[in-house]
Chains A and B, each alone.
Chain A
Amino acid sequence: MNRFTGFVKKEFLHIIRDVRSMLILFGIPVVQILLFGYVLSNEIRNANIAILDHSRDEITAQISQKLIASGYFRLKANLNSADQIEPLLKSGKVRQVIIFEPDFEKNLVRENKAHVQIIADASDPNTANMLVSYSRAIISDYFLESAETTSLPLQIDQEVRMLYNEELKGVFMFVPGTMALILMLLSAMMTSISIAREKELGTMEVLLVSPLRPVQIVLGKVTPYIGMAFINAVVIIALGVFVFGMPVLGSLTLLMAESLLFICMALSLGILISTKAKSQQVAMFISMFAFLLPTMLLSGFIFPVKNMPLLLQWISHVIPAKYYITIIKNIMLKGTGFLFVWKETLIIAAMMIAFIIASVRMFKVRLE
C-alpha cells in the first residue's frame, strides 16, 4: 500500500508540474463549455430578415409586425424592388426575405387567397429550414387569430406544453453533450498519453522490473486522473448551473456517481489504447480521431441520432457518450431517478468491464 501511494504521489507531481497537462485538464474544458454554450447555441434568435412589401396595406403591416414581435426575426431592411433581394442575400446581411405580392389585401378579400413568398439563404440548410418553418407558422397563426377565422366554429384549441425546457434554451442540449465530450476526451487521452510517455522514456520497463505489480502500475497511473476528471465534472456542472441556468432536478449524488462511472469507463478505454500505442503521438492521434468525431456527431450531442441513416444509428449504439448524455439529461432536466437510467448505466458499466478485460489481455500479450 505504501508503494502504491508513493506511485500515485509521483503521478500527481507529473501532472501538476506540467503546464501543458494542467492547461489541457482545466483550461480547455472551461473554454470549451463556454464556447459551446454561447457560440454554438443553435437557437434562432433575432435572425436578420428583409421585407419587400409590394402591397403596403394594413394586413401586410400586421403580418410584418407579428413576425418581428416573435423575437425570432429582426427587420434589417425594408426593400423597394426585387432587384435588391439578391445582392442583400449574397452579402449575408440577411438570411431571409419575405415578399408580399401587390394588392395582397385586395386579393385576399376578392379571391380568398393571397401570396407570400419566402426566400431564404440556404447555404446553411438547417437554419434556413428553421427560419422558413417559423415564418410559415407565424403567418398561419396570424390568419387563425384574425377576426374572421376565430368567429368560425369548430375551434380546436391546442394547449402546448414544452416540457423540461420551457424557454427552449439551446444550452440544455449543449451542456450535457459538452460534459460527455470533455470527460471522454480528457480521461481517455490523458491516461493513454501518460502511459505511452512512460513507454517512450523507458521508465515503463523500470517499473515493470520493480516489485510493483502491473495492476498497481495501471491503477497508480489512473487514480490521479479519476480525481482530476471528477473535479472537472464538478466545474462543468457548476458552469452549466450558474452560468447557463441548467437545473439539477434529480439527485446530485446520482449525477456525480454516474459521472464517476463514465470517467472510469473512459479511463479504461485510455488504458486499452495505451496497450496498443507505442508513442505519445500515436496515443494522442487515436484518442482524438477515435473519440472526438464520433462523440461529437453520433452521440446525439448536436444532431438527433434517430434522423440519421440506419447504419449510423447502429454505430451510435457503441458510442459511450450517447448513454451518458441520456443519463445526464434525465437526471438534470427531467429529474428522474435511477429507475429511468439503469439500462444506460448498465451499458456503460459493461463497456468499462470489457475495456478492462481487453487491456489486461493485451498487457499480458506484450510480455510474451
Chain B
Amino acid sequence: MKITTQNISKSFGPIKALDDVSFQVDHGELFGVIGPDGAGKTTAIRILCGLSKPTSGEIMVAGLDVYRNANEIKKNIGYMSQKFSLYENLTVWENIRFFAGIYGMRLKDIKLKGRHMLERLEIEHLRDKLIASLPTGWRQKLAFSIAIFHEPQIVFLDEPTSGVDPVTRKQFWEMIYETAHNGTTVFVTTHYMDEAEYCDRVTIMTDGKIIALDTPEQLKEHYNAKSMDEVFRKLARNIE
C-alpha cells in the first residue's frame, strides 16, 4: 500500500503546524519522520490516520482518499499513539483479544495467533497478568505487537520509543525492521536522530516543513556527515 500526500497544510489558529507538505511512501517501506518537538510530526501522523482533518491538501492511501473511504482504509492500518495505549487494568490476553476483536478478527484466529505472538515475545507466562504489572519495556513491545496483530498493510507509530531505555529501544527497532521486511509499510516518527539510520528513507521536518527527504546514506553523503545527528545539525545551521 502506498501513501501519497499532496500539499497538505494544517493550521491551528495563526499557527501553521503543517505547511504545504508533500511526500510519497512506497509499499513495504520503512519511512521515518524525524525532527524536534513541535516540528509537526504528530500532526502529520494524526492526519494520515484520520484523527484530524488537514486545512487543505489531499491524502491518498492505496489510491483511496482517506476521508471519503475511511472505513475501508481503517481496517488496513495499525496505530500506536505517543501515549501508552494498552489498558492497564486488563490482562495481556484480554488486551490482545479486545484489539484484535475490534479489527474484526475471529476468536479462533485470535487464539492461535495470540499464542504464537506470546511465544515469539517469550512472555507466555505473563498471559494472564495485568498490563499494570509489566515493566515498561515489555509493555511497549507488546503494544507494538498488538498494533500489527491484525496484519495491517500500513502501521503508524508515533514516537514509539520516547521514554524507553536504550536496550529496549534497540530491540524495538529490530521488531519494526522485521515488520517492514515482511511487506508492511511502516510510518514512524521520532526525535532520536540516531534512529533514522534504521529507516529506508527519512524526512527531516522543522516548523511544519520538510527540509530534507532521502535515504540515510544519501543524506549523509550529501551533507558530508558521519551520522544523521550531524546531518541534522548542519541542516539546522543552514536554516538560520
Contacts and interface: CB of A to CB of B under 8 A. Distances in A.
A343 interface: no
A146 interface: no
Contact of A201 (B77, B85, B97, B98): B85
A178 to B, nearest CB: 30
Nearest to B50: A209
A309 B79 CA distance: 56
Interface stretch (A1-9, A27-35, A37-45, A298-306): A1-9
B51 A209 contact: yes
B77 A368 contact: no
B89 A202 contact: no
A208 interface: yes
A144 interface: no
B71 interface: yes
A7 B104 CA distance: 11
Overall SS of chain A's interface: helix
A212 B74 CA distance: 9
Given A211-B102, A211-B103, A10 B87 contact: yes
Contacts of B89: 13-14, 17-18
A212 B71 CA distance: 9
Nearest to A7: B102
B101 interface: yes
Given A210-B74, A367-B53, A2 B101 contact: yes
Interface residues of B, number: 31
Contacts of A18: 89
Contacts of A357: none
Interface in B61-86: 71, 74-75, 77, 79-86
A205 B51 contact: yes
B118 to A, nearest CB: 19
B49 interface: yes
A211 B104 contact: yes
A207 interface: yes
B85 A6 contact: no
Contact of B102 (A3, A17, A202): A3
B34 to A, nearest CB: 22
B43 to A, nearest CB: 13
B51 A367 contact: yes
B15 to A, nearest CB: 16
A206 B97 contact: no
Contact of B79 (A2, A14, A209, A367): A209
A211 B75 CA distance: 6
Interface string B85-119: 11111100010011101111000000000000000
Contacts of B83: 201-202, 205
Nearest to A217: B102
Contacts of B104: 2-3, 211
A203 interface: yes
B218 interface: no
A205 B81 contact: yes
Contacts of A14: 87, 89-90
A14 B84 CA distance: 17
Contact of A208 (B51, B94, B98, B103): B51
B162 interface: no
Q: Which of B74, B75, B97 has the most CB of A within 10 A?
A: B74
Nearest to A14: B89
Interface string A342-367: 00000000000000000000000001
A211 B53 contact: no
A47 to B, nearest CB: 51
A6 B104 CA distance: 10
Nearest to A211: B74
Given A10-B87, A17-B90, A211-B102, 15 more contacts: A2-B104, A3-B104, A6-B101, A202-B85, A203-B87, A205-B51, A205-B79, A206-B81, A206-B85, A208-B51, A210-B102, A211-B104, A212-B102, A367-B53, A368-B53
Interface of A: 2-3, 6-7, 9-10, 13-14, 17-18, 201-203, 205-213, 367-368
17 contacts: A3-B101, A6-B97, A7-B101, A9-B98, A14-B87, A14-B90, A205-B81, A205-B83, A206-B80, A209-B49, A209-B74, A210-B79, A210-B102, A211-B74, A211-B102, A367-B53, A368-B53
